[in-house]
Chain A
Amino acid sequence: MAEQMTVKPAATGTTDAAVLGYRRSPAHHLAELMAAASGEQVRLREVPFLTQITIRATAPEAVEAVGNALGVTMPSAVGEVAQGEFGEGGSGSSGSSGSSGSSVSVVWLSPDEWLAVLGDEADTGVSIAAVVESLSVALGERRGQVVDVSSNRTTLELSGSKARAVLDKTIELDLHPREFPVGRAVSTQMESVAVILWRSADDTWLLMPRASFAEHVVGWLADGMREFS
Chain B
Amino acid sequence: MTQHQNHHGGRLERGGRLDRDQPIGFTIDGTALTGYAGDTLASALVANGRLRVGDSIYLRRPRGVLSAGVEEPNAFVRVNGEHNESMLPATTLELRDGLDVTLLDGIGVLDDRPDRNEYDKMHVHADVAVIGSGPAGLAAAKEAASGGARVVLFEQDFELGGSLLSDPTITVADQGALDYVASVRAELEAAPEVTVLTRTCVFGSYDNNFLVALEKRDDVASAEGGVSRQRLWHVTAGQVVLAVGAFERPIVFSDNDVPGVMLASAVKTYVERWAALPGRDVVLFTTNDSAYETARCLTKAGATVTVIDARPEVKAATSAQEGARRAGLTVRTASAVVGIEGSEGVTGAFVASIDDAGQLAGDAELIACDLVAVSGGWTPNVSLHSQRQGQLAWDDVLSGFVPSAGVKNQFVVGAGNGTYDTDDCLIEGARAGRGAAAAAGFPASSSADGGDAVAESAEVWRARQHRAAGTVRPLWAVPAPDGSLDTHFVDPHRDNTAADVLRATGAGMRSVEHVKRYTSISTGIDQGKIGGVNTIGLLTQLLSGNDTKAIPSGQPGQDAADAVELTASGQPARRPTPGTIGTTTFRAPFTPVAFTALAGRGRGALFDAARTSPAHSWHVEHGARFEDVGQWKRPWFYPQEGEDMDAAVARECRAAREGVAFMDATTLGKIEIRGADAPEFLNRMYTNPFLKLPVGKGRYGVMCTVSGMVFDDGVTLRLADDRFFMTTTTGGAAKVLDWLEEWSQTEWPELDVTLSSVTEQWSTVAVVGPRSREVIAKLAPDLDVSKEGFGFMEFRETTLASGIDARVCRITFSGELAYEINVPRWYGLKVWEDVAAAGEEFDITPYGTETMHVLRAEKAFPIVGQETDGTVTPHDLGMDWVVSKTKEFIGKRSFSRAAFTEPGRKQLVSVLPLDHTLRLPEGAQLVEPDALGDYTGEGLPTAPIAMVGFVTSSYHSQALGRSFALALVKDGPTRVGQTLLASFGGKFAEVEVREPVLYDKEGARRDG
* A174 and B125 form a contact (CB under 8 A): yes
A22 B804 Cβ-Cβ under 8 A = yes
B102-110, B421-429, B753-761 - interface stretch: B753-761
* Distance A22 CA – B797 CA, assembled complex (angstroms): 19
Whether B123 lies near A152 (C-beta < 8 A) is no
Give every chain A residue within 8 A of B723 (Cβ-Cβ).
Answer: 4
Separation of A150 and B120 alpha carbons in the complex (Å): 34
Beta-carbon contact of A25 and B803 below 8 Å: no
- A53-87 vs B, CB cutoff 8 Å, 1 = contact: the mask equals 01010000000000000000000000000000000
Q: List the A side residues contacting B572 at CB < 8 Å.
A: none
B760-A151 in contact (CB<8A): yes
B703-722 with Cβ < 8 A to chain A: 719-722
B124 interface residue per 8 A CB criterion: yes
Please determine whether B720 and A220 come into contact, CB atoms closer than 8 angstroms. no
Among listed A90-98, A199-207, A211-219, interface-contacting one: A211-219
Q: How far is the CA of A179 from the CA of B441 in the complex (A)?
A: 14
The answer on a CB contact under 8 Å between B609 and A151 is no
Tell me, in angstroms, the Cα distance from A212 to B762 when the chains sit together. Answer: 11
The reply to whether B720 and A212 contact each other, CB–CB distance below 8 Å, is no
Is B602's CB under 8 angstroms from A191's CB? Answer: yes
- A99 CB-CB contact with B under 8 Å: no
For the complex formed, measure the closest distance between the CB of A158 and the CB atoms of chain B, giving whole angstroms.
15
Number of interface residues of A (CB under 8 A): 57
- Sort chain B's interface into a size bin: 35 or more
Whether A149 is near chain B, meaning CB under 8 Å from some CB there, is: yes
A208, chain B: closest CB distance, angstroms: 11
Is A45 among interface residues, defined by CB-CB distance under 8 A? no
A33 part of interface (Cβ distance < 8 Å) = no
A16 CA / B676 CA spacing, docked (Å): 34
Residues of B within 8 A of A153 (CB): 760
| Contact in complex: B602, A143 (CB < 8 Å) | no
Tell me whether A168 and B123 are in contact (CB under 8 A).
yes
A7-28 with Cβ < 8 A to chain B: 7-8, 11, 16, 18-19, 22-26
Asked whether A141 is an interface residue with its Cβ less than 8 Å from the other chain, the reply is yes
Whether A3 pairs with B125 at a CB distance below 8 angstroms is: no
Residue of A nearest to B807 (CB): A8
Closest to B829 in A: A24
Is B674 a contact partner of A145 (Cβ separation < 8 A)? yes
Check B797–A7 contact: CB distance below 8 A.
yes
Interchain CB contact under 8 A, B761 and A149: yes
With both beta carbons as reference points, the residue of chain A lying nearest to B220 in the complex is identified as A227
Known: A24-B830, A26-B826, A150-B824. A219 touches B605 (CB 8 A): yes
The answer to whether B610 and A215 have CB atoms under 8 Å apart is yes
Task: Give Cα distance in the complex from A115 to B123, angstroms.
Answer: 27
Tell me what chain B mostly uses at the interface: helix, strand, loop, or mixed: mixed
Shortest beta-carbon distance, A65 to chain B, in Å?
Answer: 15
Interface string of A115-152 (1 = CB under 8 A from B): 00000000000000000000000000101110111111
Q: Evaluate contact between A1 and B226: CB separation under 8 angstroms.
A: no
Q: Let me know if A24 and B695 touch, CB within 8 A.
A: no
The segment out of B53-61, B513-521, B579-587, B612-620 that lies at the interface is B612-620
Q: Are B121 and A4 in contact (CB under 8 A)?
A: no
Q: Considering the complex, which residues of chain B in the window 748-807 have a beta carbon less than 8 Å from any beta carbon of chain A?
A: 752, 754-763, 796-797, 802-805
From A18, A173, A216, A224, contact of B803 by CB (8 A): A18
Which B residues lie within 8 Å of A152 (CB)? 757-761, 825
Q: Which residue of A lies closest to B751 (CB)?
A: A143
Contact across chains for B602 and A212 when beta carbons are under 8 A apart? no
The 8 Å CB contact of B125, one of A22, A179, A213, is A179
User: Known contacts being A144-B754, A145-B672, A147-B672, is A227 close to B227, with CB within 8 Å?
Assistant: yes
**Given A172-B123, A216-B609, A223-B606; A29-B803 close (CB under 8 Å):** no
Closest residue of chain A to B719 (Cβ to Cβ) is: A7
Q: A24-B829, A26-B826 are in contact. Are A211 and B797 (CB under 8 A)?
A: no
- What's the least CB distance linking A49 to chain B, in Å? 7
CA distance A228 to B802 in the complex (A): 44
Q: Taking CB as reference atom, which chain A residue is nearest B805?
A: A11
Residue in contact with A212 in the complex, picked from B632, B696, B824, CB distance below 8 Å: B632
Q: Is the CB of A3 within 8 A of B124?
A: no
Q: Mark B819-831, 1 if CB is under 8 A from A, else 0.
A: 0000011111110
Indicate whether A193 sits within 8 Å of B825 (C-beta atoms), given known contacts A26-B614, A172-B234. Answer: no
CB-based contact B762/A19 at 8 Å: no
Task: Report the nearest A residue to B234, measured CB to CB.
Answer: A172
Complex CA distance for A150 and B695, rounded to whole angstroms: 25
Give chain B residues whose Cβ lies under 8 Å from the Cβ of A47: none
Contact of A229 with B by CB under 8 A: yes
B825–A22 CB distance below 8 A: no
A179 CB contacts on chain B under 8 angstroms: 125
Q: List the A side residues contacting B549 at CB < 8 Å.
A: none
Q: Within 8 Å CB of A211, what residues of B?
A: 614, 760, 825-826
**B760 close to A212 (CB less than 8 A):** yes
Q: Is the CB of B760 within 8 A of A210?
A: yes
User: Is B122 close to A, CB under 8 A?
Assistant: yes
B123/A169 in contact, CB under 8 A: yes
Give Cα distance in the complex from A219 to B828, angstroms.
Answer: 22
What chain A residues lie within 8 Å of B802 (beta carbons)? 19, 22
How close is A199's CB to chain B, nearest CB, in angstroms? 15
B303 to chain A, nearest CB (A): 48
CA distance A135 to B824 in the complex (A): 19
B611 close to A (CB within 8 Å)? yes
Q: Which residues on the A side are within 8 Å of B696 (C-beta)?
A: 6-7
Q: Which of A168, A191, A212, A229 contacts B122 (CB 8 A)?
A: A168
Are A3 and B695 in touch, CB under 8 angstroms? yes
Q: Mark A148-167, 1 if CB is under 8 A from B, else 0.
A: 11111100000000000000
Question: By the criterion CB–CB under 8 Å, are B756 and A149 in contact?
Answer: yes
Closest to B763 in A: A151
User: Are B719 and A193 neighbours in the complex by a CB distance under 8 Å?
Assistant: no
Which residues in B have their C-beta under 8 angstroms from that of A8? 797
Whether the Cβ atoms of B754 and A56 lie closer than 8 Å is yes
Q: Is the CB of B608 within 8 A of A145?
A: no
Q: Are A24 and B826 in contact (CB under 8 A)?
A: yes
A22-B830, A24-B830, A174-B236 given as contacts; is B609 within 8 A of A213 (CB)? yes
Q: Are B805 and A212 in contact (CB under 8 A)?
A: no
- Cβ contact within 8 Å between A176 and B125: yes
User: Is A193 touching B609 in the complex (CB atoms < 8 A)?
Assistant: yes
- Residues of chain A lying within 8 A (CB to CB) of residue B830: 22-24
Q: How far is the CA of A215 from the CA of B632 in the complex (A)?
A: 12
With both beta carbons as reference points, the residue of chain B lying nearest to A210 in the complex is identified as B760
Q: Contact: A22 with B827, CB < 8 Å?
A: yes
The answer, yes or no, to whether B52 is at the interface (CB within 8 Å) is: no
Chain B residues with CB under 8 Å of A210's CB are 759-760
For B757, list chain A residues within 8 Å (CB): 152
Chain A 27-49 interface residues, beta-carbon cutoff 8 Å to B: 29, 49
Instruction: Indicate the member of B761, B804, B824 with the most A CB atoms within 10 Å.
Output: B761
**A1 pairs with B804, CB closer than 8 A:** no
Q: Are B721 and A29 in contact (CB under 8 A)?
A: no
Write the chain A residue with the least CB distance to B613.
Answer: A212
A61 → B minimal CB distance (Å): 15
Best-buried of B632, B719, B754 by chain A (most CB within 10 Å): B754
Indicate whether A23 sits within 8 Å of B826 (C-beta atoms), given known contacts A1-B720, A147-B672, A176-B125: yes
- Cβ contact within 8 Å between B803 and A4: no
**B903 CB–A CB distance under 8 Å:** no
Asked whether, in the complex, the Cβ of A24 is within 8 Å of the Cβ of B824, the reply is no
* For the complex of A and B, 6 pairs with smallest distance between CB atoms: A226-B226, A4-B720, A8-B797, A212-B611, A216-B609, A227-B226
Residue pairs across A and B with Cβ atoms less than 8 A apart, 13 shown, are: A7-B719, A22-B802, A22-B804, A22-B827, A22-B830, A23-B827, A24-B614, A143-B752, A144-B754, A147-B672, A172-B236, A216-B611, A226-B226
Using CB atoms and an 8 Å cutoff, list the residues of chain B in contact with chain A: 120-125, 150, 224-227, 234, 236, 601-602, 605-606, 608-614, 617, 632, 672, 674-676, 695-696, 719-723, 752, 754-763, 796-797, 802-805, 824-830
Q: Besides the contacts A8-B797, A172-B236, what 14 more A-B pairs have beta carbons closer than 8 Å?
A: A19-B802, A19-B804, A144-B674, A145-B675, A148-B761, A149-B761, A151-B763, A151-B824, A168-B122, A168-B124, A169-B120, A193-B609, A223-B226, A225-B226
